[in-house]
Amino acid sequence: MIPRPELLTRLSSSYELTTGATVSGDLVDAVRLALPVLDLRPGDSGEIDVRRDPELGEEAYRLTVGSRGVEIVAGGRAGAFYAGQSLHQLLPAASYRFSEQMSWPVPGVRIEDAPRFPWRGLHLDVARHFFPKREILRLIDLMAAHKLNRLHLHLVDDQGWRVESRAYPLLHEVASHRPRTAVNYYGEAAAYDDVPHGGYYTLDELAEIGAYARTRCVTVVPEIDVPGHASAILAAYPAFGATGERHEVLERWGISPAILSPLPPTVEFLTTVFDEVMGALGETPYVHIGGDEVVLDHWSDSAEITAYRESLGLATTNDLQAWFLRRLADALAERGARAVVWDEAFVSGGLRQDTVVMPWRGAGVGRRAAAAGHDVVATPVFPLYLDYAEAASPEEPRSIGDTITVADVAAFRPAPEDWAEEERARIVGAQAQLWTEWVPDARTMDYHLWPRACALAEVSWSGTGQEGFAERLEEHLGRLDAIGVDYRPAAGPRPWQRRRPHRPGKVRVVDVMAHLDGMTHDPESTRPSM
């Protein structure tokens, strides 16, 4: 989050912060991580005093810079970490570079701050295109610098499985790669690049990602998307499918009718995978289980699955989908984690009350989920799907549709003021999504995420975009330059960022949102929406 003027009380004096500032208190490591430019060792000149105030929330802090030095008072480790990030943002942009500069001027200020929402997230789809561990660690650093604290990793889809399984090794040996990838745009004739694509995280790498994120106050939310989007799983283990037929890892975009069976062996298989993923990540308070865009035809056509549904006393296949997701949520609860689902799962009904709902199809279904007592993370296509282009121009790199701008994100309100107070109280945060059909590498990921994710950071921390954001963002881009982020300039893409020209006007986000909202009122809207 970029420091907001209304948080800053300017003091009359400033302070010279050096790389040998003395610190005290038990939250020093968090400040050190947030301020790697400083070598926080005792015995040198200057002081940074860090202490805990149990009256503050875990992520809240007070930061004072004056003639006596720097004082940080934090409610917990996260608060100290965020105070360090705010202190770093008061330094020149050059402080984000490695240099031999030993002293930085800091204005005299007093900041008292705390987040409006506990969930401030980014979602990255690593199934369509895989991003190796080094890029995930770098993304965590960028999130931490913006006080974003939930990294939602979409680990499986029709186009690939992305984590090692020692219990079911064919998942990473077979399901993690495809021989080619579609390059045609929506509505065009099929065309492929004939370049093999794949990759997966070993359990050791997943453990490293989890530990690295925790030290930077980021929680990793793994997603195993079921029961649909299952082509890759069924390429490895067809016996867990509704038909028993082998599928191929999908080479094209869009949706497959491939669906897992809801029978007990599948539940056992998935709980084993959950145990492996959670065991590697370490503390895992949330696991996303999908529930979106499911084609239930194979369940309806199966005599065995129909008999099983009837034995459970369930009237429809939609009821069976709801039962299946609740059974997985129960298994996660037994392991100390809460299930997270996309909004189709809420519309189908039957969720555990503690299940978190992500209403990607708009605020209307999100409001209904909140009214039903579910915690809700706002994730609407508009304006939080960052795979959409920022301009309806062929100069943009190819994107799923257009247009979502930085200003659109900054204007978003996760908890609208016209909602009832009890509904607003159920909104626990906001999260932007980056689906990667057209995001093949880290430079393209940077382009789509930043600086729109800067606006998300402000909105999810404050609850609303603040006055003067555009001016503060312009200054903040100097920090992104120093870090080396290949962001989209306000004037449009640089020549080397114009990759695979965008097809403007083919998919307009305003039309998409109107279509999706209508579908959320149909209890059988699990069927693909696009």
Q: Which residues are catalytic?
A: 157, 229, 293
Closest by CA position to 19, among listed 97, 101, 132: 101
Q: What's the CA gap between 4 and 473, in Å, rounded?
A: 11
What angle (nearest 5°) sits at the alpha carbon of residue 480, between those of residues 504 and 205?
A: 90
Whether the CA torsion 478, 484, 490, 491 is positive or negative: it is positive
What are 219's strand-pairing partners? Answer: 150
Q: DSSP secondary-structure letter at 355?
A: -
Residues near 489 by beta carbon (within 8 Å), at least 6 away in sequence: none
Residues near 110 by beta carbon (within 8 Å), at least 6 away in sequence: 8, 9, 11, 62, 63, 64, 65
Closest by CA position to 385, among listed 130, 185, 65, 123: 123
Residue type, 426: R
Dihedral, 18, 19, 23, 27 alpha carbons, nearest 10: 120
CB under 8 A, 24+ apart: contacts of 238-244: 239/265, 240/265, 240/266, 240/269, 241/298, 242/298, 242/299, 242/302, 242/305, 243/298, 243/302
Neighbours of 488 (CB within 10 A): 22
